[in-house]
Chains A and B, each alone.
Chain A
Amino acid sequence: MKEELFISGRANLNIDPVLHIWHWQIPVYLFLGGLAAGLLFFASLYTVLGKEDKYKTAVRIAPVIAPFALVLGLFALFLDLKHKLFFWQLYTTIRLDSPMSWGAWTLMVVTPLSFVWVALHIKDFFPRWDWKFKLVIQLEAWLQKNKQGLAWIILIFSIILGVYTGILLSAFNARPLWNTSILGPLFLVSGLSTGAASIMWLSKDAKERKLFSQIDLMLIAVELFFIIHLFMGFLASTEVQIEAAKYFLGGQFTFSFWVFVVGIGLIVPASLEIIELSGRHIPVAIPAALILFGGIIFRFIMVEAGQVTRYLY
C-alpha cells in the first residue's frame, strides 16, 4: 500500500485540500469574453465581406450585446481579484509571457472598439439620435467612411479575444487538464458558436437565421471534433493527463460534462437545427438558448475540473 499525506501545514484557504482559487467569476468572464468575441467576429467579418446589408442582425443589431458582455466580464474579473485596490497595476506594464496581462490589454482595446461599433449603428435603434457636438459628428463621419478598416481591426482582435479565453487556461502547465494547445481553438470555436447562436436568436430575417444556423452546425461539428481530440490527446499523454481525462471518463465530472455540455449544449441543439433546416418548425430560441447554456457550463466545468487536476510527485 502506498500512502502520501501532508502531516502538517497545507490548510491554505482555497488551495487545500483541492485548489479552488477561481470561483464563478472566471468562467463567467471567459463566457462573456467568448460571446463578445463571437458577436464582434461575425459583425466585422460580414462588414469586410461587404454583406453588411444582407446580414443586418449580425452586423448592426447583435453587436450591441458585445460592449455590455465585455463590461460585465471585466467586472466579473474585477470581482475575482483579491487585492482589488491594486487593479490598476495591470495597466502599468505589458507582460507578453502572461496570458492574464495579454487578456487585460486585449480587453482594453476591444471594449472601446465595441462601443465605437455600437455607436456607429446607434441610429438603427434610435433613428433620431443626434451626436450634438461637432467634433463627435465629424469623428463619426470619419469612422463611417473608414468602417472597412475598423472592421479589419475588430476582426483581428475578436479572434485574439476568442483564442485568449482558451489560452488563459492552457498556459497553465501546472494544471494537466488545461495543459493542451487545443484549448485555444476550442474556446474560440465555442465562443463563435455562442455568438452565432445569439445572432440566430435575434435575427428576424429567415435567410440570415438559416445562414447562422448552418454556421452554428458547422461550429458544433468542429467543437465536437476538438473535444474528442482533446481526450484522445490526454489519453495518449503523461500520467497526470490520463488522470485528468479520467475525471471526464468515469470520474466526478463525467455526468455534468457529457450530459450538460455535449448533450444539451451541443448535440441536442444541433439535432434541433438539423430538424429545422429540414423544414420542420422549431422555435429558434430553443437551440440558441441551449447553446448559450452549454457554453457557460462548459467554461464552469473546465475551470473547476482544471483546478482539481495536479502534478503528482
Chain B
Amino acid sequence: MATNRRDFIKISALGAGALAITKPVFGWLPDFMKNKEPMDDSKAKRFPTYCEICFWKCAGWAYTNEQGELWKIEGNEDDLHSNGRFCPRGTGGVGMYYDDDRLKTPLIRETVDGVQRYRKASWDEALSFIAKRMQEISEKWGPESIALFSHGSGGAYFGHLLKAFGSASITAPSYAQCRGPREVAFNVTFGSQLGSPEPLDIRDTQCLVLIGSHLGENMHNGQVQEMSQAIDKGATIITVDPRFSTAASKSKYWLPIKPATDIALLLAWIHVIIYEELYDKEYVEQNTIGFEQLKAHVKNNTPEWAYGITTIKPDLIRKSAYEMAKASPSVIVHPGRHVTWYGDDTQRMRGVAILNALLGAWGRRGGFYIPEKFKLPKFPGPKYPKPKKTKSDAHQGKYNLADTFLSNGICEASTINIERDFTYKAWFINGTNLIETLPDKKLTEAALNQLELVVVIDTMPMAITGYADVVLPECTYLERYDEIRVSPHRIPQMALRMPAAEPRWDCKPAEWMARQLAHKVGLSEYFNYESHEELLDWQLRQVGSSLEEMKVVGVKSFDREFDDLYFREGEVPQFNTNSGKIELYSTELEREGFDPMPVYTKHPEPPAGFYRLIYGRAPMHTFSRTANNPNLTDLMDENKIWINPKVAKQWGLKNEQPIWLENQDGVVSSFPIKVRVTERIRWDSVYMVHGFGHSNKQLTRAYGRGASDTQMITNVMVDPIMGGTGMRGNFVTFHVEKPSSKEEVAL
C-alpha cells in the first residue's frame, strides 16, 4: 500500500511527561477551619495585554494572584476596542493558558520502520532542521517558493523573516475566506478598504441594517457594545437573515430572506430609495458618479420583483427602506465580515456599498467615520530583497483586484500543475488551522502532500499540526511580548502585550523563533537587537513613549493628526477611486471586465431531501481555535444542528438526537451532531455553529464534539473578481444511523 509522503500523524502524549499544572484553587488555606475568602484584588498583580483569542485585539489586563499564577483577564478602560469590557472569549483567555492539551515541545517528523511519527526535539535541533531545509529549497526553487499562512500576532515576525529571505508570499485566510469581497467592493466604491475594526459609527447611528451579519453571536466586541448603546438611544435595527438570529430578535424589522437572494433585496432597496427619491440628493450629486446609470440599472428591480425571489413581502421591503431613509445619513448598512457566500460576493458587497452611498452614510455621524491610522516606525535594518515572483504568478494573472496573496491561491499554486511554471515548496503555518479554514480539504491535502517543508507554529495540536514536518510550540499570548498593537480607530491608540506568566513547558514566542531562525540562515542583520524588549522600547521611544510607560498604562492614546471624524460642512472630499468620487458605477470593475453594477443571478437550490447548510458563530468561541479551551468549552462544548420543526417532524427527529450529515457530494460527517428543533431556522435550511467536530484526539475536550461544517463544504464558488471562496452553496441531508456505504473523508 502506497502511503502518502506526508501521512497525518496524531500527536501523541509527547512532552506530557512534563508536570501537568491544573488550575490552582486560590484561597486554599492550610488551616482548613478558616472560611475561604474570595481573591483579593489588592494582592494581585496586573500586566497589560491585548487579546489574541480573536482578531479584534482588545487591550486589557492579565491578573496574577499572590503565588504569581494567572487569575483573570479584564479589559483596559482606556481601550477603544473593548472600553474595559472583554467578550466571553477574551475573559476566558485564561483557559488557553491552562489548557493541558497544549503543544509542549518542538517535534520533528521521522520515519522508523516505514511508520511516520513525531519525536521530541530540542529547539536548536528543530530550528536547524528548518534552516537547512529552507536553504536547500531556496537553492533549488528560489526563496519565493516558501509561503506563510498566518492568523495570529506571531505571523508578523515570520513574515519579516520570509520577506528578508526573499519571499512576499504571506497570506491570511481572513481575506479570501472571509472579508476579502467586502474590502474590494468598498475599495472600488469609496476608494478605501474597511479594515479592522471597521469604521462604523454604530453608537451614534439611528438605523443599523444587518444583512447576514449576526452581531451578538459574532462577538466583535466594540460593535456589539455600540449596538447596545444604539438600542439604548432608540436606534432602529433591521436584520436580514434566513435565521431568527439574536440580532433579529432585537430588530424592529426582521426580513426572513430566502438564502442566496440577497442581491435581489439590495437592488429592490436601491430601487425604492432612488425611485421614491429618498436618497441624500445633495450628497449623491456632489460626491458620486454613475447615478443615472444606476437608476436605469435598477428600474425593474421593484419590491414586487424581489418578493418572488426573496420571499420577503414588498410592504416589508418598502417599510424597511423608508426606515433607512428616515435615519439618513445616520444609517449603516453593515458590510458584514465573513462575506464569502455564493461567489458573487464582491457584487453583493457593492450593493451594500452603493446603498450606504445613496443614504449618504460614508463620512457622516452615525454612518461610517473616518478612522485615524497610525504606524510605528520599523526597527532599522537592511531593505528586503525584491521577490522574483509576485501574487500574479501565484494566481496566474487572475484576481487582480485582490490586494494580497490568497490563501486558497497559494494552496492551489502548491499543487503540481504543468501549466504553471511556479509551485510552492514550503509552508509556514502560524495560528491557523488550515484544514478547517480552507474549503476543499482534498485540495489542501494534495498541496500538503507535495510540499518539501511544512512548519506549523501553534499553541494547540490542531488538525493541521499532524501534517507538519516540524511542529514548533508557541507560547500563548499571555506568556509573551508581541508587536505593539496599532489599529485604526476614532483616535490613534497603541497597546502593549507583555508576558503575565512564565511560558509553560518548552514553549517559545514566535518572535524568538523567527529571530533564531534568522541567525541560522544568515539574516542576523534583519534582527539586529538583543531582546524583544529592546525592539519594542526602541519603537515606542520613536513616538515619545517607552516600554516602561506602556507597562504601566497598557494603552496610550494620541490626538488625531488630520481630519475630523466626519466630513465637514461644505467639504468636497476626495475619494481614492479612478474618478475621485464615490463610484456607484464602478469604472474599476468595468476595466477588469466585470459588471460595473451588481446584477442578481440565481443560485442553485437544495435538491429534494436536502437543506442549505448555513453556518455561523457562537459568542463563546472563535472559529475552531477555542474549541478546547476549558473555560469556553464549559460555556459551549459542541454545536447542534438547527432544524425547523416542520422538517424535524417529516424526518421524525427529536431534540438532542444525534444524526449524521451527508452533503450533495456524498461526504458524510465524521461525527454525529445533535439536533436542535427550533423555529429559529427556515424550513429550507439548517444551521450550525462553525468550529466543532474536531478529529484530533489530543484535543481532549473538543475531539468528536459536534460536527464540522467545513467537512460538509466541498462545493466552493470562487468569486471571479477577487478569488474569494463562496461556501454557502452546500446542501446536507440527514442520517439517523451512521451510513457505511458512502464515501467518507478520511481524517
CB within 8 Å of B: which residues of A? 1, 3, 7-9, 11, 85
Which partner residue on chain A sits nearest B636 by CB separation?
A: A8
B678:A3 contact, CB within 8 angstroms: yes
Give complex CA distance A7, B217 in Å.
Answer: 12
A-B contact pairs, 7 of them (CB 8 A): A1-B677, A1-B679, A3-B678, A8-B620, A8-B634, A8-B635, A85-B32
Check if B645 is an interface residue, CB within 8 A of chain A: yes
Q: Which of B23-71 contact A (CB under 8 A)?
A: 32
Query: Contacts A1-B645, A85-B32 known; A9 to B635 CB distance under 8 Å?
Result: yes
Chain B residues with CB under 8 Å of A1's CB are 645, 677-679
Chain A residues with CB under 8 Å of B635's CB are 8-9
Chain B residues with CB under 8 Å of A3's CB are 678-679
Which partner residue on chain A sits nearest B32 by CB separation?
A: A85
Chain B residues with CB under 8 Å of A85's CB are 32
Size band of the B side of the interface?
A: under 10
**Minimum CB–CB distance for A154 against chain B, Å:** 37
Which partner residue on chain B sits nearest A9 by CB separation?
A: B635
Task: Given contact pairs A9-B635, A85-B32, enumerate 9 new A-B contacts (beta carbons under 8 Å).
Answer: A1-B645, A1-B677, A1-B678, A1-B679, A3-B679, A8-B620, A8-B634, A8-B635, A11-B634
**Minimum CB–CB distance for A234 against chain B, Å:** 27
Give complex CA distance A11, B678 in Å.
Answer: 22
**Minimum CB–CB distance for B657 against chain A, Å:** 15
Chain B residues with CB under 8 Å of A9's CB are 634-635
Give complex CA distance A3, B681 in Å.
Answer: 13
**Minimum CB–CB distance for A179 against chain B, Å:** 29
**Minimum CB–CB distance for B244 against chain A, Å:** 11
Give complex CA distance A7, B645 in Å.
Answer: 19
Give complex CA distance A7, B620 in Å.
Answer: 10
Chain A residues with CB under 8 Å of B645's CB are 1
Q: Which of B664-710 contact A (CB under 8 A)?
A: 677-679
**Minimum CB–CB distance for B629 against chain A, Å:** 13
Q: Which 10 pairs across A and B sit closest by C-beta, in order of nearness?
A: A8-B635, A1-B679, A1-B645, A3-B678, A8-B636, A8-B620, A9-B635, A85-B32, A11-B634, A3-B679
Q: What is the 8 Å Cβ interface bit string for chain B, positions 8-32, against chain A (1 contact, 0 not)?
A: 0000000000000000000000001
**Minimum CB–CB distance for A9 against chain B, Å:** 7
Give complex CA distance A9, B634 in Å.
Answer: 7
Give complex CA distance A25, B645 in Å.
Answer: 43
Give complex CA distance A1, B676 in Å.
Answer: 13
**Minimum CB–CB distance for B47 against chain A, Å:** 28
Give complex CA distance A9, B679 in Å.
Answer: 23
Interface of A is mostly: mixed
**Minimum CB–CB distance for A62 against chain B, Å:** 43
**Minimum CB–CB distance for A117 against chain B, Å:** 37
Which partner residue on chain B sits nearest A3 by CB separation?
A: B678
Give complex CA distance A3, B636 in Å.
Answer: 18
Chain A residues with CB under 8 Å of B634's CB are 8-9, 11
Chain B residues with CB under 8 Å of A8's CB are 620, 634-636
Give complex CA distance A44, B677 in Å.
Answer: 62
Give complex CA distance A241, B620 in Å.
Answer: 37
Give complex CA distance A118, B679 in Å.
Answer: 67
Chain A residues with CB under 8 Å of B620's CB are 8
Q: What is the 8 Å Cβ interface bit string for chain B, positions 626-641, against chain A (1 contact, 0 not)?
A: 0000000011100000
Which partner residue on chain A sits nearest B620 by CB separation?
A: A8
Q: Which of A7, A11, A85 has the most CB of B within 10 A?
A: A7
Which partner residue on chain A sits nearest B645 by CB separation?
A: A1
**Minimum CB–CB distance for A296 against chain B, Å:** 34
Give complex CA distance A9, B635 in Å.
Answer: 6
**Minimum CB–CB distance for A85 against chain B, Å:** 7
Give complex CA distance A1, B680 in Å.
Answer: 10
**Minimum CB–CB distance for B446 against chain A, Å:** 39
**Minimum CB–CB distance for B196 against chain A, Å:** 26
Which partner residue on chain B sits nearest A11 by CB separation?
A: B634
**Minimum CB–CB distance for B268 against chain A, Å:** 31
Give complex CA distance A43, B219 in Å.
Answer: 70
Give complex CA distance A85, B32 in Å.
Answer: 10
Give complex CA distance A68, B679 in Å.
Answer: 59
Give complex CA distance A3, B244 in Å.
Answer: 14
Give complex CA distance A132, B677 in Å.
Answer: 77
Which partner residue on chain B sits nearest A7 by CB separation?
A: B636
Q: Which of B619-655 contact A (CB under 8 A)?
A: 620, 634-636, 645
Chain A residues with CB under 8 Å of B677's CB are 1
Chain A residues with CB under 8 Å of B678's CB are 1, 3
Give complex CA distance A234, B645 in Å.
Answer: 33
Q: What is the 8 Å Cβ interface bit string for chain B, positions 418-455, against chain A (1 contact, 0 not)?
A: 00000000000000000000000000000000000000
Which partner residue on chain A sits nearest B678 by CB separation?
A: A3
Chain A residues with CB under 8 Å of B679's CB are 1, 3
Give complex CA distance A145, B678 in Å.
Answer: 76
Which partner residue on chain A sits nearest B644 by CB separation?
A: A1
Chain B residues with CB under 8 Å of A7's CB are 636
Give complex CA distance A3, B635 in Å.
Answer: 19
Which partner residue on chain A sits nearest B635 by CB separation?
A: A8
Give complex CA distance A7, B636 in Å.
Answer: 8
Give complex CA distance A11, B175 in Å.
Answer: 38
Give complex CA distance A85, B33 in Å.
Answer: 10
Give complex CA distance A267, B32 in Å.
Answer: 52
Chain A residues with CB under 8 Å of B32's CB are 85
Which partner residue on chain B sits nearest A2 by CB separation?
A: B679
Give complex CA distance A53, B679 in Å.
Answer: 75
**Minimum CB–CB distance for B653 against chain A, Å:** 14
Give complex CA distance A95, B571 in Å.
Answer: 77
**Minimum CB–CB distance for A39 against chain B, Å:** 39
Give complex CA distance A85, B645 in Å.
Answer: 52
**Minimum CB–CB distance for B549 against chain A, Å:** 39
Give complex CA distance A11, B677 in Å.
Answer: 21
**Minimum CB–CB distance for B693 against chain A, Å:** 19
Give complex CA distance A194, B645 in Å.
Answer: 51
Give complex CA distance A1, B649 in Å.
Answer: 13
Give complex CA distance A7, B677 in Å.
Answer: 14
Chain B residues with CB under 8 Å of A11's CB are 634
Which partner residue on chain B sits nearest A8 by CB separation?
A: B635
**Minimum CB–CB distance for B649 against chain A, Å:** 11
**Minimum CB–CB distance for A1 against chain B, Å:** 5
Q: Which of B139-154 contact A (CB under 8 A)?
A: none
**Minimum CB–CB distance for A84 against chain B, Å:** 12
**Minimum CB–CB distance for A90 against chain B, Å:** 16
Give complex CA distance A111, B645 in Å.
Answer: 59
**Minimum CB–CB distance for A10 against chain B, Å:** 10
Give complex CA distance A1, B636 in Å.
Answer: 24
Give complex CA distance A11, B635 in Å.
Answer: 9
Give complex CA distance A225, B677 in Å.
Answer: 44
Which partner residue on chain B sits nearest A85 by CB separation?
A: B32
**Minimum CB–CB distance for B731 against chain A, Å:** 24
Give complex CA distance A11, B620 in Å.
Answer: 16
Give complex CA distance A7, B679 in Å.
Answer: 16
Give complex CA distance A8, B32 in Å.
Answer: 32
Q: What is the 8 Å Cβ interface bit string for chain B, positions 551-566, against chain A (1 contact, 0 not)?
A: 0000000000000000
Q: What is the 8 Å Cβ interface bit string for chain B, positions 585-628, against chain A (1 contact, 0 not)?
A: 00000000000000000000000000000000000100000000
Give complex CA distance A89, B486 in Å.
Answer: 58
**Minimum CB–CB distance for B678 against chain A, Å:** 6
**Minimum CB–CB distance for B644 against chain A, Å:** 10
Give complex CA distance A7, B621 in Å.
Answer: 13
Q: Which of A7, A8, A11, A85 has the most CB of B within 10 A?
A: A8
Which partner residue on chain B sits nearest A5 by CB separation?
A: B676
Give complex CA distance A8, B634 in Å.
Answer: 8
**Minimum CB–CB distance for A6 against chain B, Å:** 10
**Minimum CB–CB distance for B545 against chain A, Å:** 39
**Minimum CB–CB distance for A32 against chain B, Å:** 31
Give complex CA distance A3, B644 in Å.
Answer: 12
Give complex CA distance A1, B681 in Å.
Answer: 12
**Minimum CB–CB distance for B31 against chain A, Å:** 13
Give complex CA distance A85, B634 in Å.
Answer: 30
**Minimum CB–CB distance for A239 against chain B, Å:** 22
Give complex CA distance A166, B634 in Å.
Answer: 38
